[in-house]
Amino acid sequence: MDQTIRIVLVEDHEMVSAGFAAVMNAEDDLEVVAIGENATRGIELIESLKPDVVVTDFNLPDGDGGKVASSAQAMDPAPTVLMITGVDDRIAVEAALATGCAGFVSKGRGIDELLEAVRSVSRGAAVFPANLLAAVTAMGASKQPDDPLTTRESEILQMLANANNADEIASGLFLSVHTVRNHIRSILSKLGARSQLEAVVFGVRQEIVQIEA
């Protein structure tokens, strides 16, 4: 059996957090180790418990999910952060991109999609509702990189946009995981991206990759 994914949930609505926690804890591979009712408490719990994944709502009483994500990314080790957004909340999505989140899920989606998103980001994949990401990427163009992506890097970026992680990309392209990770680091460097998710956004804006809305 795979190792259990330890989760800190940051959500101020008790009924929602209790429901999310109950569903996650019913899964063999997921465990909610703590719930923070606001950003401040969430950050404290993340720092003390060192979870694998943080699932945070964007709207919190004392800030937003971006505050939680930024603080989490500065920790060592840094957990993977998944942000829960409104059905069409571009501000939340932009915050997820700016703070290095691995992905975001819409409240308008089913609980099964949230569970799979937690598993996917824990494996190193970027997760997003394609229709909402498409709306964000349409808002502006990113600067073309001075050092263009190679054909292989473009291929890997497209696979990242298809929600593949490094292991899956390595298997699909018959490369070592080490080689794939080196390519991903190069992609992020060339695009000036803080995360794989942001690299996908830049790739879409520059028409290097496509996503299906």
Q: How far apart are CA 22 and CA 17, in angstroms?
A: 8
Same domain? For 63 and 131 the reply is yes
Query: What's the pTM?
Result: 0.84
Domain containing 162: what range?
140-205
Q: Which of 136, 160, 189 is the last residue of a domain?
A: 136
Predicted pLDDT of residue 1:
44
111 lies in a domain?
yes
Same domain? For 148 and 84 the reply is no
Same domain? For 126 and 37 the reply is yes
Q: Which of 94, 112, 136 is the last residue of a domain?
A: 136
Give all strands (DSSP E) within the chain, no chain letters.
5-10, 30-36, 53-57, 59-60, 63-64, 80-85, 103-106
Q: How far apart are CA 138 and CA 30, in angstroms?
A: 35
Same domain? For 11 and 34 the reply is yes
Predicted pLDDT of residue 37:
96
9 lies in a domain?
yes
Per-residue pLDDT in tens (0 to 9) along the chain, 213 residues: 468 999 999 999 999 999 999 999 999 999 999 999 999 999 999 999 999 999 999 999 998 999 999 999 999 999 999 999 876 677 888 888 888 899 989 887 789 999 999 999 999 998 887 776 666 666 555 667 778 999 999 999 999 988 899 999 999 999 999 999 999 999 999 998 888 988 988 888 888 888 765
Residue 109 CB coordination number (10 Å): 14
211 lies in a domain?
no
Same domain? For 75 and 41 the reply is yes
Same domain? For 100 and 158 the reply is no
Same domain? For 131 and 151 the reply is no
Number of structural domains (the chain) is 2
Same domain? For 29 and 99 the reply is yes
Same domain? For 168 and 154 the reply is yes
Predicted pLDDT of residue 152:
96
